[in-house]
Amino acid sequence: GVVFGAIIDESMRVYHAYTEIKDGIQMFRGSKYVQSDLKNTFLEAKSFLDDGRMVCFSGTPCQIQGLKSFLGKEYENLITVDVVCRAVPSPLVLRKYLKYQEQKNGIVNIKRVVFRDKSKYGYGYSSMLVEGENKIYREGIETDPYLRAFFNNYSDRPACFDCKFRNKNRVSDFTIWDCYTIAEFDKNLSDNKATTRMIIQTAKGEKIFEQIKGKCN
């Protein structure tokens, strides 16, 4: 099969891509607090689907709705996964933030950005990490300007707060989001390393879940 998702490349651009190997799925992990460029992924997904390949496409609720509208029909070999999305800033905001990091903090040749760094404070605290050739920057939600603007809705697209897909019922097969209250379900899983919660939205989703239940690690 083929899996589509959002990646951040070495130029700090966030866009959708696909992988046909299991190890390639790793590049889709991690939060990206910026709008992803879909590029030609709808066309690519349709080509794979028409060839009979299994396709899993992940994205925000509006991206999944866009894919379904583009395809114009249901495909039994398509699996869709959306993430609970509060809003997305423009890629221009990220570019300006990285320029700020270069000028204000003297970070040279930025090669990695982590919007939800857990290495220092764990899962329950939002922290930004910017790694360059000469130093690593880490700041939390109270002091980092990108996170402050994002969570205070200063940098988010206004259209996101009038989004008709901001509800519980989605067109995707699965909806996933952070399970901060994991201890209420199983204290053994409360390890401060993050747990994902999921809603199965469709009969196809139920069937797939039954097939993979207990096999994932």
Query: What is the full DSSP assignment across 84-117?
Result: -----B-HHHHHHHHHHHHHHS---S--EEETT-
For residues 33 and 147, give the distance between their C-alpha atoms in angstroms, rounded to a whole number.
9
Q: Flag whether pLDDT at 145 surpasses 70.
A: yes
**DSSP label of 204:** H
Looking at residue 144, its pLDDT comes to 95
Looking at residue 216, its pLDDT comes to 65
Alpha-carbon separation of residue 110 from 9, 15, 98, 141 (angstroms): 11, 18, 8, 20
pLDDT digits (tens, 9 = 90+) for 154-212: 999 888 988 888 787 789 999 998 877 877 888 877 777 678 889 999 999 999 999 98
pLDDT digits (tens, 9 = 90+) for 101-110: 999 999 999 9
Tokens coding 91:
């890629």
pLDDT digits (tens, 9 = 90+) for 17-45: 999 999 999 999 988 999 999 999 999 99
Nearest CA to 149 out of 90, 194, 104, 103 is that of 90
Q: Which of 51-65, 72-86, 123-137 has the lowest mean pLDDT?
A: 123-137
Residue 217 binned pLDDT confidence (cut-offs 50, 70, 90): low
Cβ-based neighbours of 18, under 8 Å, separated by 6 or more: 2, 3, 4, 5, 41, 44, 45, 48
Asked whether 6 and 28 are in contact (CB, 8 A), the reply is yes
* Planar angle of CA 116, 160, 86, nearest 5 degrees: 30
DSSP β-ladder status, 174-178 and 78-83: parallel
Asked whether 8 and 61 are in contact (CB, 8 A), the reply is no
The pTM assigned to this predicted structure is: 0.91
Q: pLDDT above 70 covers what percent of the chain?
A: 98
Strand, coil or helix: 144: coil
For residues 143 and 156, give the distance between their C-alpha atoms in angstroms, rounded to a whole number.
18
pLDDT digits (tens, 9 = 90+) for 1-15: 999 999 999 899 999
